[in-house]
A and B are shown apart, each in its own frame.
Chain A
Amino acid sequence: MSGAGPGLAMRPPGGAGGAGAARSMLRRLDPPLLVASACIVAILLGGSLYNSLFLSPHYLVQQLQVASFLGIVAAGAMLVILLGHIDLSVPWTLTAGAMLATGLAGSSLGGLAAIPIAVAVGAAIGLVNGLGVAFLRIPSMIFTLGVNAVLQGLMVLYTGGSAPPSSAVPVVRWLAGGRVLPGIPNAILVWALVGVFMILLLRATPFGRTVYAIGNRERAAYLSGMPVKRVVCLSFMLAGSASALAGLLLTGYAGKAFQGMGDTYLLPAIAAVVLGGTSIVGGRGSYAGTIIGTILIVLLQSMLAVMQMPDAGRQIIYGVVIFSMLLLYGRSRSGQA
């Protein structure tokens, strides 16, 4: 549990704290967060040597906008990973949320109905996942993989195998690309809202405490009288909603929902969570870390794209980087059952 909170200490940079304060802050930081933050700085500096564009505010804001979709998916993925489970149904939950919400929203109020529809679709999918995992005790990895396949089948049926004709509703376009604050796309604000929600949920509610407890030792949580099954179910529902919401936002950014739009989100989301210092076996991690992990992943992808690396090289480098960062600190410690 010790690593549950230190990420928040990242926010106010220590500045004039004196050496003692700086050292105590360093001690409170997770090594993963330090490594990930150092990697972000290294990518930005290395990139700026290659192309001065890397340090321009416009570029950075644009990267944050791209990161907000991944960050929202990662919020859900993290909740499930904290429990010691995993949600492999992300790709088609995201796509199903996007397709159904865009297709069913209608045009009243600029398609405002799309948002609750997406959240409900995600929650319903999450409920199925949660029931299978919490009540049937099927390994989450397998069950969510199966749900992913069923969703893919359902969406293929729904769209007839081709891209759905309806394009993104106006409200969602505004949410993803519009600007309430000058210079800052709304998607970043949505992400910030999700972030605040996650941090409060994990740190300040009994629900959050129970999530960490289940991740540390499910038996102990059950014996302490915690509502284990309910919390697992709810977590999967929140995770599904997060994926579906991200999918909906993505339609506003890309213009419409399309087949396979979620395929590129599964591994990056899990990687962002793990690189942000969350233990893949559960029980340890903070959303602040996941934010840093998300930014790291997005910057890495962006740099590989800017360097005009062919797809093959991009996949390999991407895999190798995630792999080596996992080796740096994603290892299961011996003695941790």
Chain B
Amino acid sequence: MSGSSPRLFLRHNALPLLAAAIFALMFGLYLALQPNGIRTDVLVTAANKGVLLALIASAQTLPVLTGGIDLSVGAIVVLCNCLASTLLSGTPTQIAFGVAATLCGGLAAGMVNALAVVVGRLQPIIATLATSTMFYGVSLLLRPNPGGDIDDDFASALTGAVGGVPVSLLLLLAIVLLLWLPFRRSLTGRGLYAVGSSEASAYMSGVKVARAKACAYVGAGLLSGFAGLLLTLVAESAQASAIQAGDLTLNSIAAVVIGGTSLFGGVGGIVGSILGAFILRTIGDLLFVLSAPPLWQPMFQGLILLGAVSFSALPTLRARNRLETYR
């Protein structure tokens, strides 16, 4: 698949490589500017925030690759956050059960979306908008008041560092190496790309369209579950907040676009989205270091999203045939 010749590899991965370069540049600038110097705790804080967004962006990537979208990823993260905040305490067995239950919660939410889109044949955008209301309702049920009881040792172990390397980063690496790469090489994983490129052609070629789509939404639920878990460990509390859910969804889409995944489906991948998430996070950190007024932050987020999508739309302005730009 990838990298039989270096030139082909470069051409296939131009956007993720560009994203990586931009991230390296920006993160270097951040490290140089921030006042505490390069210390492990600075890296750990940056990594935890970055990995959180990276997980949500990865979740968003899967439905986007099929040409759909999941507007409920933020709500699933909040749901799993609320779920985890009631379960992550007590004996190690109980904590392990809590982790498993949280991930299952994300998985279940993803299955609801998959059922709606695949079996119910609803438009992904409207279906996930409706399910996100349900997920928010369940979050309120689980946690009417902000708070939570999380085992301190467990939280600091997973949000700390091992030998100078942030644990959350290792977790992300494990997810990419053990879940994403094998999945991408599998029949269903390649089906995901085929469905996104052209659903009709994929169907005609014998790709199991329904299975690929279902996997995308269930996978999005699972990855959102991981994100919810990490959010719980970082914040050590939970709050059923619709605003936070909306913010997370918005940022996930921005990260996916910045990472070079096409919103029309079929092109891109999780690695790009992770880099996109890191870039987005670093922009926020840079704004903070450069002491931009905090009130400007929401507007920057929106402008960055608009800038990224407009940039990715530039090729359509050069379309040779006007007709090609119409559906």
Chain A interface (Cβ within 8 Å of chain B)? 84, 86, 132, 136-139, 141-143, 145-154, 156-157, 160-161, 217-219, 222-223, 228, 260, 263, 266-267, 270-271, 274, 280-281, 310-320, 322-323, 326-327, 330-332, 334, 337
B257 close to chain A: CB less than 8 A: yes
Contact B121 A331 (CB under 8 A): yes
Contact B133 A322 (CB under 8 A): yes
The smallest C-beta distance from A50 to any residue of chain B, in angstroms, reads: 21
B131 close to chain A: CB less than 8 A: yes
**Chain B residues within 8 Å of A153, by CB:** 296-303
B130 close to chain A: CB less than 8 A: yes
B127 close to chain A: CB less than 8 A: yes
Contact B125 A86 (CB under 8 A): yes
Contact A136 B130 (CB under 8 A): no
Given contacts A222-B323, A334-B121, contact A316 B134 (CB under 8 A): yes
**Chain B residues within 8 Å of A274, by CB:** 126
Closest 7 CB pairs of A and B: A153-B299, A149-B302, A315-B137, A316-B137, A150-B302, A319-B134, A319-B133
A310–B138 CA distance with the chains assembled, in angstroms? 12
Chain B interface (Cβ within 8 Å of chain A)? 69, 116, 120-123, 125-127, 129-134, 136-141, 144, 200, 242-243, 250, 253-254, 257, 263-264, 295-303, 305-306, 309-310, 313, 316-317, 322-323, 325-327
A157–B300 CA distance with the chains assembled, in angstroms? 12
Number of residue pairs A-B, CB distance < 8 angstroms: 157
Given contacts A139-B264, A274-B126, A326-B130, contact A332 B121 (CB under 8 A): yes
Other-chain contact of A222, B116, B299, B326 (Cβ < 8 Å): B326
A149–B247 CA distance with the chains assembled, in angstroms? 9
Contact A146 B137 (CB under 8 A): no
Residue of B nearest to A150 (CB): B302
A59–B57 CA distance with the chains assembled, in angstroms? 46
Residue of A nearest to B138 (CB): A316
**Chain B residues within 8 Å of A330, by CB:** 122-123, 126
Given contacts A142-B309, A319-B134, contact A218 B129 (CB under 8 A): no
A64–B92 CA distance with the chains assembled, in angstroms? 56
Contact B250 A267 (CB under 8 A): no
Contact B295 A160 (CB under 8 A): yes
The smallest C-beta distance from A210 to any residue of chain B, in angstroms, reads: 14
Q: Is the interface of A mostly helix, strand, loop or mixed?
A: helix
The smallest C-beta distance from B134 to any residue of chain A, in angstroms, reads: 4
**Chain B residues within 8 Å of A315, by CB:** 133-134, 136-137, 140
**Chain A residues within 8 Å of B301, by CB:** 149, 153
Contact B295 A161 (CB under 8 A): yes
Other-chain contact of B306, A150, A318, A332 (Cβ < 8 Å): A150
A334–B209 CA distance with the chains assembled, in angstroms? 14
What are some 23 contacts across the A-B interface (CB < 8 A)?
A132-B310, A136-B316, A136-B317, A137-B313, A137-B316, A138-B313, A146-B305, A149-B305, A150-B299, A153-B297, A153-B300, A219-B326, A263-B242, A267-B129, A280-B125, A310-B144, A312-B138, A313-B141, A315-B133, A319-B132, A326-B127, A327-B116, A330-B123
Residue of A nearest to B310 (CB): A136
A323–B112 CA distance with the chains assembled, in angstroms? 11
Residue of B nearest to A134 (CB): B325
**Chain B residues within 8 Å of A84, by CB:** 327
Given contacts A223-B323, A228-B326, A274-B126, contact A154 B299 (CB under 8 A): yes
